[in-house]
Amino acid sequence: MTNLLVDKNFSACRVSKKTVSGKLVSMNAASAPDAIAAILAVMPLDHFVEQPLMHMEDPDQTGIMLPVHADVELLCSTAEKRSITSRPIERFAYYPLAEACFAVVQTGEIRPYGNFILKKGVV
Model confidence at 123, in pLDDT bands (50, 70, 90)?
low
Considering the chain, what is the average pLDDT of its residues?
95
- Overall number of domains in the chain: 1
For position 20, which CATH number holds? 3.40.1650.10
Structural domain harbouring 47: 2-119
The pLDDT value given to residue 75: 97
| CA-closest candidate to residue 116, choices 2, 1, 16 | 2
Strand pairing partners for 78? none
Condensed to tens digits (0 to 9), the pLDDT of residues 29-61 reads 999 999 999 999 999 999 999 899 999 999 999
What is the distance between the alpha carbons of residues 67 and 44, in angstroms, rounded to a whole number?
23
What is the distance between the alpha carbons of residues 81 and 25, in angstroms, rounded to a whole number?
27
Q: Contact 106/29 with Cβ under 8 angstroms?
A: no
Model confidence at 1, in pLDDT bands (50, 70, 90)?
confident
B/e letters for 91-109, b = 16+ CB within 10 Å, e = fewer, are eeebbeebbebebbbbbbb
